Amino acid sequence: MVWVEAICCDRVFDEARDAPRFRKAFRTLMTTCDRWPTPKKFLEALPSIIVPFHARPRIEHEAMREARVRSFAEIRRTLGIPTPDDDPEPPRAA
How many CB atoms sit inside 10 A of residue 10's CB? 4
CA 9/CA 11 separation, integer angstroms:
5
pLDDT tens sequence across 17-50:
999 999 999 999 999 999 999 999 999 999 998 8
Q: What is the pLDDT of residue 46?
A: 94
Q: Does residue 94 carry a pLDDT above 70?
A: no
Please tell me the number of Cα atoms within 13 Å of 51 on its side-chain side.
3
Domain definitions of the chain by residue range = 2-45
CA 91/CA 94 separation, integer angstroms:
9
pLDDT tens sequence across 54-81:
888 877 788 888 998 899 999 988 998 8
